[in-house]
Chains A and B, each alone.
Chain A
Amino acid sequence: MLKDATAIVGIGQTAFAKHLPESEKALACRAILAALDDAGIDPSEVDGFASYTMEETDEVEVAKAIGAGDVTFFSKVGYGGGGSCATVGHLAAAVATGQASVGVAWRSRKRGSGPRPWKNTAAQLPTPGQWTRPFGLLRPADEIGMLARRYMHEYGATRDHLFNVALACRNRANQNPSAIMYERPLTREMYMTSRWISEPLCLFDNCLETDGALACVIVSAERARDCRQKPVYVHSAAQGLPAQHHGMVNYWNDDPLSGPAWTAARHLWKQADFGPEDVDVAQIYDAFTPLVPLSLEGYGFCGRGEGAAFTEGGALEIGGRLPLNTGGGGLSEAYVHGFNLINEGVKQLRGSSTAQVPDAATCLVTAGEGVPTSAILLRA
């Protein structure tokens, strides 16, 4: 059983900025060493690694640089931001089954100052790019905007609902000195008059382009009791690739509005001792605001078509029904393929968040919705 068999005992991060001078490799090493220091574990004890397939820094380089010993488990998860929580899930499984004893997951990224993949016209994949790219569906914002407009049409969701998501994330970032949007408040007027990126999505519906890196350390629950920090247990973990799914352009599914969240959620809750009503705080992947109402439905916080209405009345703010993305999320803290959501979940359950939910004991963290995804439930 995976349930509570392992715990996150260390977290680390670099600064977040539009531009950082160091390389992705250097940033990765800084985040990993910070996480190990946080845990009080010597780098030579690391014998497990997990990251994303989109991570440029591989485990060979990282292991050498930090002075790891013999490594007995390593894993990479595909589909961009869909892989974030799976890195923790893979390490938890490896540690729980004895394939490794100290696992490190990380993500280092220079998207603030580096190239944007959608600008590369030479390397477009033949499938499914041939069905969308020639028609000017060029960027993730265009692909998700298509689902967003349909969602708004079917369920009466409005731009005000999307604003609720952007505002909750921004308000939390305003409390977080590490966030790119610290001390930069958002108003409804700023949102409503901002430039379009892909109608119906405006500037503030899109995540930040960020340079930065994060890491976390996973050990057995037994060992966690002797670590420097209060353990945060990996209670449940799941990945989700639904039947007939097609990635970002999930348009050829029978039901494009029920995405990978639904598949991951079914397995996640089946393994857990508690349900959505017992979640104290959530870190929900927010590359784009519409992913949040879709995820709220997928993970069972409300019914189908009710995700937008769920955001009303301050539900996502501190003190609301489901405080969300309490570090500021991808929309306002940093967009590092969702890894900041994992570390923020850990901070909440340690009681050390800059926007602490009182007595938070359970946290859902999700990875990218709209691509093959993953999720974890953490508990104090």
Chain B
Amino acid sequence: MKLITAIVKPYRLDEVKTALQELGVQGLTVTEASGYGRQRGHTEVYRGAEYRVDLVPKARIEVVVEDTAADDVMDAIVKAARTGKIGDGKVWAVPVETVVRVRTGERGPDAL
């Protein structure tokens, strides 16, 4: 199994959710996040004084899937989240040893 984490622009979240549902992904977790990449935040102006704000609001999406589905899921997220502009985010995958469904105690892929 793989844990896929995606950091995307918050306003692309709905598109990513729809794409994952179409792929048959059963569940996901979304967290409000802040951070920056190469573009380093944005500038705000108050009475002529400029402030650099380096942390930009982001949505962090986490989903655990079977190994065979991982590439498709990552591709779907990238396609749905891409705007072509700077700050579109990142997606990565890491191996997961095991998963337990809390309600039933099922383990492994059955718990997904």
Q: Do A and B bind each other?
A: no
A-contacting residues of B (Cβ < 8 Å)? Answer: none
B-contacting residues of A (Cβ < 8 Å)? Answer: none
